[in-house]
Structure 1
């Protein structure tokens, strides 16, 4: 019905031929008016301005074809915007595209009396108004399609970045890929891992919303049933981590150590994933739990980085502090944390034992009288002893 109505009111063939001949001049006049009225258009590079001229001319040519074939469904997306390279959508956002269309339509309307044959002025003006509506729908379709394609591309690139972190690929490529996703240069960065929510729950969208509400950059990926989240910057990364961990599935959530940039995020991811795999050995672990707090479980699970960390951070400081401190710690551990029994065994005052244990805690960060600290000390010293024997054998 709309096509029939349009056919009944369409301009004459003579008017359309005159409009066709004037299309180049009208496009040039439209661009000149854009230059006068739109300051941002004046600042565009010459190549982009020429693209706009081509699109404007294609639009006027499409108007002529649209009038000559009133029963044909409009294919304005390809006819008009297919003339422009894809880069033009990067340079001209949707709101500014609407401004360009508005100026072009106004120029054509202003020249209707000069272009139309006598008696055709009103018909041509009405046709231009109808066509401008079709163009508005077409440009909305172009930008919606572009946004949809860009979203799918971003999702694939984000998956590649997170997958590279998990697999420990070359770190120098990560910042460039992440920058294409809008990741700002920011520090510190941590990686958080845990189980993905069950069912059809869109964990990626929810996690992004939670992280950005805390002012953080974020990357999200799902590997098998594990949710991997990279957080960067933000005024309070600890609070952001606690907020994001609510969106994980059941079970432990492990936070890798902080690193100074995305280029080193693989280190945080490696520690966090090792902690997640070993977390079952600490059923009462807090949620979230630091990967460093899981060093004993990670070492038992065969993580060489955890073994090295225990040796460097716990065993080595005690061994370097002298035999008295090391012997005191061993004796306290052997006596189940009983200070009086330790003092008797070492023939020293209980306060001396307390002083030595305080010194040991300062060196290692572990208290021999705390169950968790005692467990860490005992395992670190045992591993240190084993490593010492291996070095003697080799």
Structure 2
């Protein structure tokens, strides 16, 4: 979002372009930054750059909301941004009184800036209408702040719900135990396994990683509860999460959008898989969903996969004679790690040579040469349908019997080809 909102010039009040006089975000940020710093422990926990970034984000969202009100535009999106930004401050321990004061100071500064040059005789009506709009703005901001703190309180008070989630995953939850924790067990659930792809080039200082991870987890929790009307149970980690969502509180047709929202909250790519199970089948469902998640990671896939979509790959990864035979088809490539890496990337990009070349940062002719070598060494042509099918099956089967060899040869899939 730009530092000031000067592009929306359609709003006028008694012929005067009030919107053109909206101040720069940096002007307002400077006025309220000290409210979060002086006498606060925040600078000891959160990097100063992050504090400035969060203040600027909140100010920008409030300015956008002001602009929408002045133009009669839709305010839903900026209000949602305000709530999200306020939740970030609530997570850091900023009191609701301090947040109301900061927003009040900022709102007053914007109003003063807009009306500083107004003349009482000529702009009397304009001043009244602007004042009325700011009363409405203040009310909307107060409601948004209260909603954000209420939701953050629900997120923070999740220990009891987390205990129920852990018991369900372990297979030893009882209705009485759930009731004691304030949770009503559902008859059936969607079990989501979610993995977070590490971001490249993360240059945050080591001492800040725990704080950043904690904030990310809280954002994800809030997003999940918002989407599922506070009915989801979760077991959260820094790399993966398990979500248990009652089937009567979730539309599977919206699963892809749900995963996109989780990715937005995590601020990184995610991969997710889900299965539908009865309450008694949660432990098995968790195992299946996470097995599919591991297949996705090894195949370098991101986004959402339903269990049914990867059921063949799941079955091929199960231990057995057939799986070992398939995995052995790739044994000749163990001495050629570059070819194994090329094959993995080629299959992950749906056998598209140009995309494979892009992922591997090589010329397409180099990809062609390597694919020909793979065909020569294994006897299976990765450019033909039958060869692709058998090589893909072999690669999946290899996960069980030779997964460590695959990782040793090709490296961590998340580190070698996140873009796939």
**TM-score scaled by length of structure 2:** 0.33
Which has the larger Rg?
1
